[in-house]
Amino acid sequence: MSGKAATTKPKVPPKPAAAKKAAEKKSSDKKSLTSLLKQARKAKVAKYQEYKKKRAAVKSAKRPKQVTPALKKIIVHKRTKPLYVKLKKLAKNRGVPVDSVLVEKPKFVVKKVGGGQNGGERKVLVKKGPRFYPTETRPKRSKTGQVTHKNHPRRFKKGLEPGRVLIILAGKHRGKRVVLLKTLKSGLLLVNGPFKLNGCPLKRMHQKFVIVTRTKIPFDGVKIPKHLNDKYFKSKKSISSKNSKKTKQGGNIFAKGKKDAGNKPSRVRGEDQQQVDKQVLKAIKEKMGDKKTILAYLGSFFYLRNHMYPHQMKF
């Protein structure tokens, strides 16, 4: 025998009958639970497969499996989608597929030609192209759903907000400092002198022809009338101007019309001017610190002297 003692495993005492039964029951319960889970999973998969089949059947019923190129054009294009809906209804009423309703017109027509050496027949286009092409490019018509230039979104320069003091660079009132009242729908700016200070009335200005300054008048309590819009400033054509056009085109020379009084401001416009002036001056006097300086600033003209460079100036 070797010097090392032989290691022997201790004998496990046999389990009693009650413990054996409990272990068997536990294992059987486990097996039954797994089998139930498997069955439930199988049922779920079967249900999903059935749903998929139904869905596929509905889809195939909605749209034909084999779509012809002509029908595909109608289905895909946004302009012809309503036409496809009409064709579907027509096909449903007749009880036939949509392809059979859509009949393509022939592009060519076969016509007989005389002469022994001409072949007897000739293909002729049904829809003939134009004989002459324009020498200049014609303007394209705006597509449906396309936003016209009149309604495109307007973008304004930085700092163009109500109450901002601007310098006018062009027109009758160039060099004057004015107050911006609001931005209009057309993209123009509604400005006012005020008229009492520098003689600049309520008028529209393009943002290209103004310099935005750092001076801003608080416009919290100022209420600008809603009717001061683009339509308000639109000039009205008089009868005499219409008659003058007719005479130029060879109309009646002796037709009497009212004399053109010019674009004189109406009574309503004068009232609006006074109302806006009153509010702007009130805002300057009550909310601005050095009101005298600002009133003098608005009343003065902007001009450049020698060695004054606009690109280096801070307005």
Average pLDDT score over residue span 268-296: 91
CA–CA distance, 141 with 219 (Å, rounded to integer): 44
Mean pLDDT of all residues in 258-283: 82
For residue 76, what is the enclosing H or E element?
Answer: helix 69-76
Q: What is the distance of C-alpha 56 from the center of its chain? A: 37
Average pLDDT estimate for 141-156: 74
What residue ranges do the domains of the chain occupy? 65-125, 164-257+264-312
Mind listing the pLDDT tens digit for each residue in 62-107?
Answer: 555 556 666 666 665 656 777 778 888 888 888 888 777 777 778 9
Span 25-51, average pLDDT: 84
286-293 average pLDDT score: 88
CATH 2.30.30.30 fits 164-257+264-312, yes or no: yes
Report the alpha-carbon distance of residue 162 to residue 216 in Å, rounded.
8
199 CB contacts (<8 Å, ≥6 apart)? Answer: 173, 176, 193
Report pLDDT digits (tens) over 154-193: 899 999 999 999 999 999 999 999 999 999 999 999 999 8
> With 50 as the cut, is the pLDDT of residue 1 above it?
no
Instruction: Give the pLDDT confidence score for residue 100 in this predicted structure.
Output: 76
- 182 burial (CB, 10 Å; 0-12 / 13-18 / 19+) is middle
Predicted TM-score (pTM) of this structure: 0.50
The predicted pLDDT at position 184 comes to 93
